[in-house]
Every structure is written in C-alpha cells, then in structure tokens.
Amino acid sequence: MVTSEIERHSASSWVVWNYTYNIKRDEFWTMDVKPYHSESWRSILKVCGELLERTGNAANARALLQSCIKHGKLQLSLLYDQFRQKGVKVRWVNAVWNRAVLPKHSFIVTLAMQSRLATIDQLIHRGMYLINRCILCKAALETHQHLFFQCPYAATAWQSLLLWMKITGRTMDLRKEINWIAGKHVRRHWKARWFMSCLTAMVYSLWEERNLRIFQGIEHDIPYIIRRVQYLVSVRLIHVTHFSHKDKIVELLNV
C-alpha cells in the first residue's frame, strides 16, 4: 500500500515529504539506500528490492501489489500467499487437528508424523555427539518409529488404551494408526474422536515422559501414563461432545 500511494504521488504530507527529501529525482523502485535515509525508509526500500527480485521488474511488482488490494487496503494474507511455498494437503490433517484433540497434542503429533521431533537419531544426524539409546526401554535406538510404538514401554501403554476403547487388531505404528482413522470421519462420529483423542494424547504423553526422564530425571510407570491419558481424553471429549451423547460417553469413559 505504501508503494502504491507513493507512485500515485498522493497529496498526503507523508508522501510529499518523502518525494521531496528521500526520492528526489530517483526512480522509486530502483533507488539506492542513502546515508540520510531513516530506518523505516530503508525497510521500505528493502521490501521493494525483494519484490523486484521475486517478480522480475517494476511493472510486475506493481501488478502484484494491485492484485492484493481489496476495498482500498492491502491484504497481507493475499500477498503472503503469493510467496509462500504451498505443499500438498495431507489426508490426515483433519483427523489430527479437530476439536476432540488438544492443540498441544495436535502440534506434537504433526511433528512426529513429519519425523521432526528432536529424537536422538535426529540430533546425531545434525552433528551432535550423543549415545543413542531409548530412555523409555533402555534397550534400543531412539527413533520416531521406535518411540511410536515399537518401544515395549510405549507399546504396552498403547495396547492398554486400545483395550479400554475395546479395539483390537491395531498396528503398533503411528503413521498407520493415523492414516487408518483419517478415513473414519473423525469430525462426525464421537467414537472416532475418542480413538484420535487417545492416540494423540498418548503420543504427547510419551514425548513428555521421555523429556522428563532426560532433563529432570523424573520417571513414571506405565499405569501412571495410562491414567493421565484417560483423564485428558475424558475431560476433552465431555467438553466438546454434543449433549445428547454425554451420558453414554461419561459411562464409557468412566475410569
């Protein structure tokens, strides 16, 4: 919006002042930074330079800015969409990010699905010198696949929750579990919400337990983890579920 106002040579005192003392006889889009330019003006010129670099020339930059103006105002969200890298929407995003799941649980599960949690194997790959051993079972290398849920500690906890939900025949693999439930209309059926809420709460609790052991030396047994997940899930589901199902949920989630 600043550039469009300047190029139109608006009658505002701010634009007139900048034309008189900053731009003078230079071309706005290609002018160099001068020693007497203020920090705000330097920032404006920096943004203009980035626009030119991305669009190729001043005409394209003007057209881009003009396309992002709605109702006389520059919409930053539209401008941001022009430059951000757009990835393919994964099929499990609605399963992980929904009202039945606490946002902090969704965040950790999203990182786990992308193998971006700071597991020991990842830290070693980044150049850190560490001994790779799972802090939960103390018997294998720590990787995303091991933590969720090949680790005996994690597998036992998850199997206990599956029994609580009366679900059998599930795999001990986070990606397969997420992809399986993603096609079950999580937003529509409270039982699918129950499963996803349990799964994400378990992933979060295991990651939290792992960090507590490493950084604070605090250890909890498997029954503690199970009770914690059951409590978190029960409170969340009762809060977000339609009142017509709450009595049934209270009965089933009674721990």
Looking at per-residue pLDDT, the higher value among 241 and 88 belongs to 88
* Mean of pLDDT values over 129-150: 95
Looking at per-residue pLDDT, the higher value among 117 and 48 belongs to 117
Confidence grade of residue 1 (pLDDT, cut at 50, 70, 90): very low
Given this model, what pLDDT does residue 22 score? 78
Given this model, what pLDDT does residue 185 score? 59
Given this model, what pLDDT does residue 254 score? 61
Confidence grade of residue 121 (pLDDT, cut at 50, 70, 90): very high
Given this model, what pLDDT does residue 107 score? 97
Q: Contacts by 114-118 with C-beta closer than 8 Å and gap 24+?
A: 115/144, 117/144, 117/207
154-179: pLDDT as tens digits: 999 999 999 998 888 888 899 999 98
40-92: pLDDT as tens digits: 888 888 888 888 888 888 888 888 888 888 887 878 888 788 777 777 778 88
Q: How far is CA 126 from CA 92, 118, 121, 146, in A?
A: 28, 10, 9, 19
Given this model, what pLDDT does residue 174 score? 94
SS (H, E, C) 91-157: CCHHHHCCCCCCHHHHHHHHHHHCCCCCCHHHHHHCCCCCCCCCCCCCCCCCCHHHHHHHCHHHHHH
Rank 36-50, 178-192, 208-222 by mean pLDDT and report only the highest.
Answer: 208-222
Given this model, what pLDDT does residue 252 score? 60
Looking at per-residue pLDDT, the higher value among 225 and 83 belongs to 225
* Mean of pLDDT values over 96-106: 92
Least confident of 99-103, 160-164, 186-190, 199-203: 186-190
Q: How far apart are CA 127 and CA 125, in angstroms?
A: 5
